[in-house]
Amino acid sequence: MSGLRPAIRRTGATAGQRRSVGFASLGLVLFLIAMRAPIGIVLLLVSFVGVWSATGFQVAWGMARAIPFDFIANWSFSAVPMFLLMGFIASNGGLTSGLFDAMRIVLRRVPGGPACAGVGACALFSAASGSSVATSAAMSRIAVPEMLKAGYDKALATGTIASAGTLGSLIPPSILMIVYGIFAQVSVGKLFLAGFIPGALSTIMYMSMIMIRAKLNPKLAPTIDYNPPREERIQAFKEVWPLPTLILGVLGGIFFGVMTPTEAGAVGASIAMLIAAFRRTLTLAVIKAAVRDAAIGTSTIFIIAVGATMFTAFLGLTGVPRVISGAMLSIASDKYTLIVMIAVIYVLLGMFIEGIGIMLLTLPIIYPLLQQANVDMIWFGIIVVKLLEIGMVTPPVGLNCYVISSSLKGVAPLSTVFRGAFAFVLTDLVTLALLIAFPIITLWLPNIAG
């Protein structure tokens, strides 16, 4: 990237002209993404054409050859396919099959018990998945039919799983946290630690909201007489042991310093396969499906990340990040005002753009001003993940809502899922306010771990 600056100067373009090209390119990217064009391809093409127009084809081609190789060669990124593989093995191998039943037994006496059980099951599944979409897709086919059978409102049933599925981004291990940690140059292990309490807080806030609504309006979540015999309860809890074993093996190894997050991904995938083999659910079909899904997920993430890296290099040369950062810093009187401004931008972008894309598009622009304002990047990382969670259930793009609607074809239209998720979005905003107002919620565990 440093070699591009002299090339730009040789073109004779003024700083103002370069900024104009940069802002025009940024506007074009946002427009194309809003039109549902593939974000990775958009970023790659716009950045390539932008550098070509400013410096010439040879420089643009050199960037296109060098950046993808340098980026993917980053050892830390090997954690992404491994954690995805771990999650798909756990899901396809039946390691998560008893979660909802066990949580339903534990929470059978509380108002809205099955919905709360869905939230709890999603939270536990998240610790093995790391993906919000995978969590929502898996739990929708288990929890939603049970809630509808109990007479639950369709909007509440589908909105619960769509929203609780977003916990896959916040509860470690999280793919979003890995990508953020690499781009923001902070410890992924500390980010995992920082996500625990906010993840638990989000889970508790969701359950509390459901219980309050069920108490105020029993028609939404009718009380059911569910008291399974002792043998059934024992059997349900016997089915749950694989997931806690997997979670303890992976996250325990990270937190006690036995292995790095990168190593933990490979260990986690191995443990998941061993447990599935022990339970005799590790078939060739399961392995093929898990490898295929992990490869597709990794490819998607890498294409977006490479495109964002190239676009970042291009924007940096035009000076756009400095202009935007300076403007925002002149308006914000303190770091809390700055965080609120960024939060508003993220919520608006989240209505139209997928989470990883938003993060990689905005980080190069806001990173310098966050440093100037002395914002703790671990704390900010958890705030970012929480904001991206909200974007996953807000219309018109809300990916998790699309996943629920397509997984349950004919059960609930997309509008019903969005309507059900609205109360959870409001709950998320309260949780977000707590995380911003009290950084200790996020930073306590990373601080005591050193």
**Which residue bears the tokens 């002209």?**
17
Q: Residue 389: what residue type?
A: E
* Distance (Å, whole) CA 434 – CA 13: 47
Q: Residue 225: what residue type?
A: D
**Which residue bears the tokens 């400013």?**
54
DSSP 185: T
* Distance (Å, whole) CA 378 – CA 359: 14
Rg for the chain, CA atoms, rounded: 23
- DSSP-based three-state secondary structure for 2: coil
**Which residue bears the tokens 């396919």?**
81
Residue 450's pLDDT is 65
| Nearest CA among 199, 258, 133 for reference residue 435 | 199
> Phi and psi for 37 in degrees, rounded to 5?
-70, 150
Q: Residue 439: what residue type?
A: P
pLDDT string in tens for the chain (450-residue length) = 444 444 444 444 566 777 787 888 888 888 887 777 888 888 889 989 888 877 778 888 888 888 888 777 777 788 888 888 888 888 888 887 778 888 888 888 889 999 999 999 998 888 777 677 778 887 888 889 889 988 999 999 999 999 998 888 888 888 889 889 988 889 888 999 999 999 999 999 999 999 999 999 988 988 877 777 777 777 777 778 888 888 888 888 887 878 888 888 889 899 999 999 998 889 999 999 999 988 988 888 888 888 888 888 888 778 777 787 777 777 777 788 889 889 998 888 888 777 888 888 888 888 888 888 889 999 999 999 999 999 889 888 788 888 888 888 777 888 899 999 999 999 999 999 999 999 999 999 988 876
Q: Which two tokens stand for residue 336?
A: 């809390």
Q: 81 and 291 in contact (C-beta within 8 Å)?
A: no
Q: Kindly write down the DSSP assignment for every residue of 126-162, as one continuous string.
A: HHHH--HHHHHHHHHHHHHHHHHHTT--HHHHHHHHH
Helix (H) or strand (E) holding 193: helix 188-216
> Phi and psi for 352 in degrees, rounded to 5?
-130, -20
Sign of CA dihedral 155, 157, 161, 163: positive
Residue 284's pLDDT is 92
Q: Report the chain's terminal Cα–Cα distance, integer Å.
A: 35
- 298 half-sphere exposure, CB direction, 13 A CA radius: 19
* Distance (Å, whole) CA 446 – CA 78: 23
Q: Which two tokens stand for residue 158?
A: 């589908």
- 42 half-sphere exposure, CB direction, 13 A CA radius: 18
Q: Kindly write down the DSSP assignment for every residue of 373-430, as one continuous string.
A: TT--HHHHHHHHHHHHHHHTTSTTT-HHHHHHHHHTTTTS-HHHHHHHHHHHHHHHHH
Residue 171's pLDDT is 87
Q: Residue 402: what residue type?
A: Y
Helices (H), 319-376: 320-331, 335-350, 355-372
Q: 350 and 176 in contact (C-beta within 8 Å)?
A: no
* Distance (Å, whole) CA 368 – CA 323: 11
Q: Kindly write down the DSSP assignment for every residue of 249-286, as one continuous string.
A: HHHHHHHTTSS-HHHHHHHHHHHHHHHHHHTT---HHH
**Burial degree of 330 (CB within 10 A; 0-12, 13-18, 19+):** exposed
Helices (H), 38-97: 39-55, 57-72, 79-92
Q: Which two tokens stand for residue 371?
A: 């440093």
* Distance (Å, whole) CA 66 – CA 70: 6
